[in-house]
Structure 1
Amino acid sequence: MRKRHILAAAAPAAAVPLATAIPAYSHAWITTPPSRAALCAAGTVKNCGDIQWEPQSVEGPKGFPAQGPADGTLCAGGNSRFAQLDDPRGGAWPATRVSAGQRLTFTWKFTARHATTQFRYYLTKPGYNAGSKVTRANLDTTPFLTVPYNGAQPPATLSHTATLPSGRTGHQVVLAIWDVADTGNAFYQCMDVTF
């Protein structure tokens, strides 16, 4: 009888780590080209903190560029839990090789499909220093691609193809934003590219 009580007490305690490892609310991240969140989740980049288990949770206030996360916290959506995404790592984030005028496809993976206002994609300005955090001052705040979604829910995966702007060389950062229609938040993803 005593063994049964010990097992009964141990079962809930063992379940706690499993329950806390699975986020209560999941959303989306960009898988290709690999975002910083995807690189951390895949183990390609180490020392990422919680983002390695929650690449879909980079959520912060919407309204960029007039509002939204503070400068230097854009890649983490202003969420201090994921501050590792804002660390430029001395410009050492793995980068996808691209060229000006190239058509590049961005693929989102959704784990919760919110009603959506739009998706927007921004690129750092010519001369961006890959060793610095992403700010409004070093981003072209006019998106190179905007995809209206008019309140619809996206499917489990969704891709957008854009023509990359010219005038860039070296290591640059793409900031992608998924504006949710039914909350005050948006989801932020940064991808490193090399022209």
Structure 2
Amino acid sequence: MHCHERVEHKGWALRVLALLTVAMVGLIPWADTASAHGSIVNPASRNYDCWNRWGSDHLNPNMQQQDPMCWQAWQDNPNAMWNWNGLYKNNVGGNHQAHVPDGRLCSGGHAENGRYRSLDTPGPWKTTNVGSNFTLHLYDQASHGADYFRVYVTRQGYNPETQPLRWSDLELVRQTGSYAPAQNISFGVSAPGRSGHHVVFTIWKASHMDQTYYICSDVNF
């Protein structure tokens, strides 16, 4: 083989190797990312909402004025948004209040070593408009299924812009039965007698193991 032929052959081989590498990377699931678990996507959880609006532009300084609650969350720990559906605790045994104390409900009791603590911060979180009857939509790429969902809504008079969330601020409005494994689960909720900014607090007990998700969604009735 002549010298220039060897060079061309080597270049061709490197291009093929590069293409194979890209293809293989596409097949490798990223560990501990948003593809691994699930969360409420409508009405959007706090960190899903921040990821959905700013994930492709999270370094934009305009966020500080336009969306201050997402700004403080991105500044505190960007992984709380990149891992928007990893907010869970294992081995809770159904004893939610013992594992998730007042003031730390939206972070799942500082789950994952406090990764999600910024979600506990009171303030003008962006809201999803809902009526007294609305639908919750869980997206779970891993299809864990559910032993149950418990859905709470804050009582009229609670101010999410100034008050840390406590169990006593919540009213249980829906407890479901079990759901078979699926990527999308939706069910209706009724929370009459409310107006303005409220927090929907969802407990999702996954079926595949003792794994419980704690999810805050901001709504405007």
Q: What displacement does 1:21 show?
A: 7.2
SS of the counterpart of 1:148?
coil
The question of whether the paired residues in 1 share the 8 Å contact of 2:147 and 2:205 is answered with: yes
Q: Answer yes or no: is 1:69 the counterpart of 2:80.
A: no
Q: What does residue 204 of structure 2 align with?
A: 178
Q: What does residue 83 of structure 1 align with?
A: 117
Q: Answer yes or no: is 1:154 the counterpart of 2:181.
A: yes
SS of the counterpart of 1:41?
helix
Q: What does residue 8 of structure 1 align with?
A: none
The question of whether the paired residues in 2 share the 8 Å contact of 1:59 and 1:187 is answered with: yes
Tell me, in whole angstroms, the C-alpha distance in 1 between the residues paired with 2:34 and 2:82.
Answer: 12
* Selected match of 1:29 from 19, 34, 39: 39
The structure with the larger Rg is 2
For residues 160 and 24 of structure 1, do their structure 2 counterparts lie closer, same or farther at Cα, with a shift above 3 Å needed?
A: closer
Q: What displacement does 1:121 show?
A: 0.5
Deviation by residue 1:26-48 (Cα, 9 ceiling, x = unmatched): 21011111211211211353343
Q: What displacement does 1:60 show?
A: 2.2
The question of whether the paired residues in 2 share the 8 Å contact of 1:21 and 1:53 is answered with: no
The question of whether the paired residues in 1 share the 8 Å contact of 2:174 and 2:189 is answered with: yes
Structure 1 or 2: more strand by fraction: 1
Q: What displacement does 1:129 show?
A: 1.6
Structure 1 or 2: more helix by fraction: 2
Deviation by residue 1:44-90 (Cα, 9 ceiling, x = unmatched): 533432122111101025435543312111111121111111112x2
The runs of at least 4 aligned residues of structure 1 exceeding 6 Å deviation read 18-21
Q: What displacement does 1:96 show?
A: 1.8
* Selected match of 2:88 from 49, 54, 59: 59
Q: Provide TM-score, normalisation by structure 2.
A: 0.68
Q: Answer yes or no: is 1:128 the counterpart of 2:158.
A: yes
For residues 19 and 25 of structure 1, do their structure 2 counterparts lie closer, same or farther at Cα, with a shift above 3 Å needed?
A: closer
What do you get for the CA RMSD once the two structures are aligned?
2.9
Q: Provide TM-score, normalisation by structure 1.
A: 0.76
The 10-residue stretch of structure 1 (171-180 or 46-55) with the greater mean CA deviation from structure 2: 46-55
Q: What displacement does 1:185 show?
A: 2.6
Structure 1 residues not aligned, in runs of 5+: 5-10
Q: Answer yes or no: is 1:40 the counterpart of 2:50.
A: yes
Q: What displacement does 1:23 show?
A: 2.8
